Chains A and B, each alone.
Chain A
């Protein structure tokens, strides 16, 4: 289970994440939604142990990520939004390196590397330096690296960015299978159709605070939205007026 307790993050006087508490149970694919700058990435980076919270704590399977990081991170696979990888390693070397960070090596790892590269259609690129990879290929490599050590939890920031339709579909299938086998996925995304189709539960964050949480049906009931789509609900909760203004601005252009 992923559990956030009163998680808060300040950057000077700016409050990026404000007293966020939520729980993601085993076998759940959880969508973390919000407009740009709402605090999604900061929250996910705190869960991954990259940023230290100003207050509150993050528990992964009962272990505090910041007080007891090694066992907590051992169970985690993190996929960031920006695919920074060592340019001078090959794809296969990068995956083996990541496996080593989790204390894994040997034939099992080699087999797993080959499997993942095959799944993401990178097998013919395995001995090429990453500097020759396209943005989408790097994203696929990073997704593979998050799966290499067979994590229990996957925390993923904007997974579909840069992926071709086939890879995007594969990733959706992988996540669905992963949660079906008891894994947990916490995913931030702007693609609301994907969130609506895939996620068991969602949370919407704005100005660093959770403004809605539950299944999509729960949200419709809570906000008396009838059979509105998640997109309409999202716009209602996060400022649809701005979208209308934007449409007017675009319409006014010569």
Chain B
């Protein structure tokens, strides 16, 4: 029997993607496209600009400069490969074992190789597009600064492509083996914990060894030692190292085909081994993937604790809150991200501790106050990112259950209320801890402590409301994976709105803080007068408006939802 072409196997996915773009366009999505393009171009320009400056300086430094540039590229590509392996392992689990089209493909007379290549291609595309886009400004900066010429473009593509294929094939193979050991749904739980645990561990390790100390010249005995370190490859067996060598030798004008040959043959070899493993292990793995992650659960704990604490609430609201908490903690893919969050908070506080601020009395006070003030913006941004991950998807995740919620007498206000507080309370605790501890570490004066705590409190209410409101305005009812929802267009608009709010509130408060700093610096008494209070009031009004308005808009939008 003639086998369908690979294109035919991939066609449904491609057509779905095209249709989605068409629907977006017919819904007036051109505005979205423009915003996305502007943000992407802005991001690219930023990365390119920074690298261009750094590489420009390095290029001027004889001997050491190009070596350092190569080292930077090596670290960047190694990071890319690390991200790609983790992302491919998780994506392969969905595309090879949990995707909705698998029943159709497996029951159709499609041979194993076509199925493998189609699913590998899907995995590669889903997990690598972001890294590929990120690589564009990086390679562009190297090409421009080291004058790679027009041939550098196809050469860079030829280098990058196998570098994306190797982790995709290796990650898919690893997933295949894991699924044969554990059921797919358990593997997903396991992988999300392992991946995040590994990521978090790496971040912690990297930060705790304090890499900034390596930049101090006293760390090296002489220049030759330094050059020797730079010349040593990170690891001669890593594909990222071959890619670095391929790029840097091309930019130096030398001809060395070995790195490219190594990259391409390794990619071909990994795909071949992956295909062989697929042939042997896919069928038993796929069968195993159909097993549910059955678990015997007794949920009395939440009823005793949260249920008792919230006794004062009407039963519908109380049970809704308990339901949301149960769903969160029973879904490993949701709570496992808290590991990463905890590590980021530790790193954040460690960074504040590592700041050399308390060396001179007067300068110390100025910088301490400045850092404490700017820390509000940074903490606000961290909170916004957390809200994007945990609060923004809240409405979208109810999509499939709206039949129940809309046909019951539950007031939509009660639904929104529950979602808001379930998200806001932990966010507020984190916000106050982050700001309070930072201010204690910085040894700020009571004025900044009180101002900081009140501001971050107000900002938290607004950030949570913005997340929920934008989540309702741009719902993603089709997406089952909560982690994908914040990366949608709505998530982007939410982040932009939150950054604008942070900017506006901090700008408003700066006038008051500046007056305070000047008074202390000049030895004058700090007077909280009407003028200063008026600035605080403006900031409070901004926060209140950014809380009430998104919730109101979100509620109106939810009333118009149709399922």
Contact = CB atoms under 8 A, between A and B. Distances in A.
A84 B319 CA distance: 19
A117 to B, nearest CB: 15
A70 B410 CA distance: 7
Contact of A48 (B401, B403, B562): B403
A235 interface: no
Contacts of B400: 84
Contact of B407 (A50, A70, A86): A50
B334 to A, nearest CB: 9
Given A50-B563, A69-B409, A127-B297, A101 B326 contact: no
A97 B323 contact: yes
Interface in B389-419: 400-411
B296 interface: yes
Contact of A93 (B292, B293, B326): B326
A216 B404 CA distance: 32
B563 A73 contact: no
B395 to A, nearest CB: 15
A85 B401 contact: yes
Given A90-B299, A97-B323, A50 B330 contact: no
Q: How many A residues touch the partner, as a band? A: 35 or more
A198 interface: no
A234 B237 CA distance: 72
Contacts of A101: 316, 319-320, 404-405, 408-410
B307 to A, nearest CB: 10
Given A50-B403, A145-B404, A128 B409 contact: no
Given A93-B299, A97-B319, A49 B294 contact: no
A129 B186 CA distance: 14
Given A50-B563, A52-B560, A101-B319, A128 B296 contact: yes
Given A100-B320, A128-B295, 10 more contacts: A45-B563, A69-B409, A70-B411, A84-B400, A89-B326, A100-B316, A128-B296, A129-B294, A132-B293, A132-B294
A131 interface: yes
B315 A105 contact: yes
Interface string B323-353: 1001100110000000000000000000000
B327 A50 contact: no
Contact of A49 (B185, B406, B560): B406
A127 B300 CA distance: 11
B318 interface: yes
A84 B296 CA distance: 20
A88 interface: yes
A70 B401 contact: no
A108 to B, nearest CB: 12
Nearest to B397: A86
25 contacts: A48-B406, A49-B406, A50-B402, A50-B562, A51-B562, A52-B562, A73-B407, A74-B409, A78-B404, A86-B401, A93-B299, A93-B326, A97-B319, A98-B404, A100-B318, A101-B320, A101-B405, A102-B408, A103-B314, A103-B315, A128-B297, A129-B330, A131-B293, A132-B293, A132-B294
Contacts of B562: 50-52
A43 to B, nearest CB: 14
A101 to B, nearest CB: 4
B298 interface: yes
A4 interface: no
Interface of A: 45, 48-52, 69-71, 73-74, 76, 78, 80, 84-86, 88-90, 93, 96-98, 100-105, 127-129, 131-132, 145
A73 B294 contact: no
Given A86-B401, A104-B315, A129-B295, A51 B407 contact: no
Contacts of B563: 45, 50-51
A10 to B, nearest CB: 12
Most B-side CB within 10 Å, residue of A50, A103, A128:
A50
Interface of B: 185, 292-299, 314-316, 318-320, 323, 326-327, 330-331, 400-411, 560, 562-563
Nearest to A74: B409
A86 B327 contact: yes
Contacts of A86: 323, 327, 401
A90 B301 CA distance: 14
Nearest to A93: B299
A128 B298 CA distance: 8
B257 to A, nearest CB: 52
A93 B296 CA distance: 13
B409 A103 contact: yes
A69 B406 CA distance: 10
A48 B563 CA distance: 11
Contact of A100 (B319, B401, B406): B319
B298 A127 contact: yes
Contacts of B315: 100, 103-105
A96 B294 CA distance: 21
Contacts of A100: 315-316, 318-320
A93 B330 CA distance: 13
Contacts of A105: 315, 319
A103 B318 CA distance: 10
A84 B397 CA distance: 12
Contacts of B401: 84-86
Nearest to B399: A84
B208 to A, nearest CB: 36
B165 to A, nearest CB: 34
Contacts of B296: 127-128
A88 B323 CA distance: 9
Given A84-B401, A97-B323, A132 B410 contact: no
Contact of A88 (B298, B330, B408, B411): B330
B246 to A, nearest CB: 47
Contacts of B409: 69-71, 73-74, 101-103
B407 A89 contact: no
Contacts of A49: 406-407
B292 A80 contact: no
A71 B409 CA distance: 7
Nearest to A92: B299
B16 to A, nearest CB: 20
Nearest to A149: B408
B547 to A, nearest CB: 26
B243 to A, nearest CB: 42
A150 to B, nearest CB: 14
B303 to A, nearest CB: 9
Contacts of B331: 88
B192 to A, nearest CB: 15
Closest 3 CB pairs of A and B: A100-B319, A48-B407, A78-B407
A19 B227 CA distance: 83
B480 to A, nearest CB: 10
Contacts of B406: 48-50
Nearest to B323: A97
A79 to B, nearest CB: 9
A73 B408 contact: yes
A127 B297 CA distance: 5
B555 to A, nearest CB: 14
